[in-house]
Amino acid sequence: MSPSEPAAPSARVGTRVGPFVAFFAVALLAAAGAVFEISYWVGLPALAPQVLGTTIGIVGALVAFFVWGWWAPGND
């Protein structure tokens, strides 16, 4: 195929979800993984006080990320 003959979009392509949602899912998975690892420390009563403030900060920021991202006007 030459550059002047771009591939036509297939029907399958046309029905896909947009990249915004896909990246949302990627971010959600990554955040869930990180919070899962951090939650280990929060689950230990003797150690939780050392990480609790930072963990609340992280989780709060994550919620804000997804909320503001969903609410914000699109790039169009």
Residues in touch with another protein (CB under 8 A) = 2-4, 6-10, 12-20, 22-24, 26-27, 29-31, 33-35, 37-38, 40-41, 44, 46-47, 49-58, 60-62, 64-65, 68-69, 71-76
CB of residue 6 to another protein, shortest distance in Å: 4
Helices (H), the chain: 11-14, 19-42, 48-71
* 58 in Cβ contact with 35 (< 8 Å): yes
CB of residue 31 to another protein, shortest distance in Å: 6
CB of residue 21 to another protein, shortest distance in Å: 8
Q: Estimate the crossing angle of helix 19-42 against helix 48-71, to 10 degrees.
A: 170
* 66 in Cβ contact with 28 (< 8 Å): yes
